[in-house]
Amino acid sequence: MENVQTGKIIDIQRYTVHDGPGIRTEVFLKGCPLRCLWCHSPDSQAAEDEIAWFEIKCIGVDSCGKCLEVCPTGALTKGRRFYSRFEKKEIQVIELNRDACNNCGRCAGVCWPKALYLTGRDASLSEIMRIIDRDRLYYRKSKGGVTVSGGEPMVQYKFVKALLQQCKARGLHVCLDTCGYAEWEHYKEVLDYVDLVLYDLKHMDTVQSQRLTGVPNELILENARKMAEEGVALQIRIPIIPGCNDSEENIRATGAFCAGLGPSVSLVQILPYHRLGSAKYERLGKEYQLAELKPPDQKQMKKCRGILESYGLKVVTG
């Protein structure tokens, strides 16, 4: 039987104010079925733990080298030498052979500077609720609550259900941040415990959706329609990615779709592309395909907002 008392998380952030109303505690779960080209959290994609290598934090094998001693597969060896402006001397760092690495995490366990670290960890339901309970006063005063995000939280929908049940038993406001790519039967298990769904729409054309995110969009659009039919409160979130989904044709198609969902859509939020997560790709040994892409300027964001507002939608930026 699946253990719904333990989930795989990336992080828990307190006092967040961007993913739902008021002051919130946000739980980021690991695992996502999409592979968006612009993803700013590549560490959230894989359902399993991954080793990340943040070279600039390494103090050198001469001063430490414990990771070399504990690696069971020989994936770590002595690597290049260079002058470290942090250590103020020449150091030799390790080299990570990802083909040989089994992501066991032993190296991360002995790396006190956190140059090597695991991108996820197991967290119990009780641990998460203890953190959430610390800030119940702030939720009440700011009309905030708890947001469950990812990755894609529906990858761990049984754990999400158990977590949300605990939150609702305390009378907390709950947001579910989802890409929409999950079985409807799974959504039905959790939506009774959700006050607001933050629903991502990436592209209205299924061929382009497949190219840009790795999955077609039929299931995503159908789930949005079903939620609207069920009267689920929706806040649609649209990333604006220049050259990918910011064409007038796509923005108009998105606006028409959102308007067609009716009164369930309380707000449409457009989010300008940024490159803040690009360094994470290097730490994971992955290529960031949009490294040269520039964020949209204010003129383009204003144009997208105007198009969406022409469909009678309430739209905010950022």
- Upper half-sphere CA count for residue 296 (Cβ side, 13 Å): 23
Mean pLDDT along residues 190-206 = 98
Name the H helices within 95-247.
Answer: 106-110, 125-133, 136-142, 157-169, 184-190, 206-213, 218-229
Mean pLDDT along residues 211-232 = 98
Report the mean per-residue pLDDT for the chain: 96
Whether pLDDT at 59 is above 90: yes
Mean pLDDT along residues 256-280 = 95
User: Are 305 and 248 in contact, with CB atoms under 8 Å apart?
Assistant: no
Instruction: Give the integer Cα–Cα distance in Å for 284 and 256.
Output: 39
pLDDT score at 2? 58
* pTM score over 0.85: yes
- Identify the structural domains of the chain with CATH numbers, from first to last: 6-47+121-317 (3.20.20.70), 51-118 (3.30.70.20)
- Percent of the chain at pLDDT > 70 equals 99
Instruction: Give the integer Cα–Cα distance in Å for 312 and 3.
Output: 45
Instruction: Give the integer Cα–Cα distance in Å for 82 and 60.
Output: 10
pLDDT tens readout for residues 285-295: 999 999 999 99
Mean pLDDT along residues 189-199 = 98
Mean pLDDT along residues 185-205 = 98
Whether pLDDT at 1 is above 80: no
First to last CA, the chain: 41
Closest residue by Cα to residue 29 from 162, 120, 117: 120
pLDDT tens readout for residues 148-171: 999 999 999 999 999 999 999 999
pLDDT tens readout for residues 75-103: 999 999 998 888 889 999 999 999 999 99
Instruction: Give the integer Cα–Cα distance in Å for 154 and 190.
Output: 9
Mean pLDDT along residues 120-147 = 96
Pairing of strands 196-200, 173-178: parallel
Q: How far is CA 219 from CA 2, 127, 201, 254, in A?
A: 25, 34, 12, 15
